[in-house]
Copies of this chain bind each other. A is one copy, B any other.
C-alpha cells in the first residue's frame, strides 16, 4: 500500500530516476521495490532494479499519491537504514536544523568534501523525509550520518576531538588553522536561533561577512567551513 510519507514510517521514498539510481548503487539492500509509471520508458534505474532483483511494480496510483505535480516516473521505496559515523573522521554537527532543504544540501556538501561524517542533534528535520532525500541528490545513501537526542549524548561518545562551534561572535575562520593531527567537529546551530551560548566554551569561530545581511544561509556556512577543513 502506497501512502504519503510520515516521519514515523519504517520506509521512505526516492522520487525520480536519478535518486533511485543512487539508492540502488549505494544501499541496494534497503530497497523494497521500485514503482514505475506507465509513462516511463526504461532507463538506468529500472535496469539497476532488475540487476539487483528489486521488485518492479507498474502503477499510476503511486505517482498520484507521492508525486502528484511532478515530472517523476520512477519511485524507489526503501527501508530506513542503520546510520553510522566514524571516530576516525571529522564531523559536521547540525544542532536542531529545521529545514529539509538545508539538511539535504549539507548532505551533498558532506559527500563533495569527503572528510567528515554528519551528526544531527534532535529535534531536527528528518534525514529520511523525501524532501531531504531529494535535496541531497542521493547523498543520503552515500555518506555516514547519525542522529542523537542531545549534543551531550553525542560528545560523550566522541570525546577525543575538537569542537568548533560557528557563532557570530567567534574569531575569524580565515585565521583559523586546522591541524592534520586532530579530529574536528564543525558545529552549527539552528537556522533562526544559532547555537546556545553554552557552546562558547569550546572557542567559537565565525565566517567573516559584511553587515549587509543578518547571517549566512546555514548550507552556505557549512560549505565554506567544510571546504576549508577538506583542503587544509
A232 vs B208: C-alpha distance when bound (angstroms): 11
What are 13 contact pairs spanning A and B, CB under 8 A?
A: A105-B217, A105-B220, A108-B213, A112-B209, A112-B210, A112-B213, A112-B220, A113-B210, A114-B212, A137-B213, A173-B231, A207-B227, A219-B220
Given A105-B220, A139-B212, 4 other A-B residues pairs in contact with their CB atoms under 8 A: A111-B210, A112-B213, A114-B210, A137-B213
Question: By CB atoms of chain B within 10 A, which of A112, A174, A213, A230 has the most?
Answer: A112
B172 adjacent to A231 (CB under 8 Å): yes
Given contacts A111-B212, A213-B111, contact A227 B230 (CB under 8 A): no
Which residues of chain B have C-beta atoms less than 8 A from A142's C-beta?
212
A210 vs B108: C-alpha distance when bound (angstroms): 11
Given contacts A207-B227, A223-B220, contact A212 B173 (CB under 8 A): no
1/0 per residue A189-232: CB within 8 Å of B?
A: 00000000000000000011110110011011001100100111
A109 near B: Cβ within 8 Å? yes
Which residues of chain B have C-beta atoms less than 8 A from A139's C-beta?
212-213
Residues of A within 8 A of B (CB): 105, 108-109, 111-114, 137, 139, 142, 172-174, 207-210, 212-213, 216-217, 219-220, 223-224, 227, 230-232
Shortest beta-carbon distance from A193 to chain B in Å = 17
Total identical chains = 2
Which residues of chain B have C-beta atoms less than 8 A from A208's C-beta?
227, 230-231
A208 vs B112: C-alpha distance when bound (angstroms): 9
Which residues of chain B have C-beta atoms less than 8 A from A109's C-beta?
220
Which chain B residue has the least Cβ–Cβ distance from A223?
Answer: B220
A190 vs B223: C-alpha distance when bound (angstroms): 20
Q: List the 9 shortest-distance A-B pairs measured between CB atoms, nearest first.
A: A114-B210, A174-B231, A112-B209, A111-B212, A220-B223, A224-B227, A112-B213, A208-B231, A111-B213
Question: By CB atoms of chain B within 10 A, which of A108, A111, A139, A220 has the most?
Answer: A220
Which chain B residue has the least Cβ–Cβ distance from A212?
Answer: B111
A173 vs B228: C-alpha distance when bound (angstroms): 10
A139 vs B220: C-alpha distance when bound (angstroms): 15
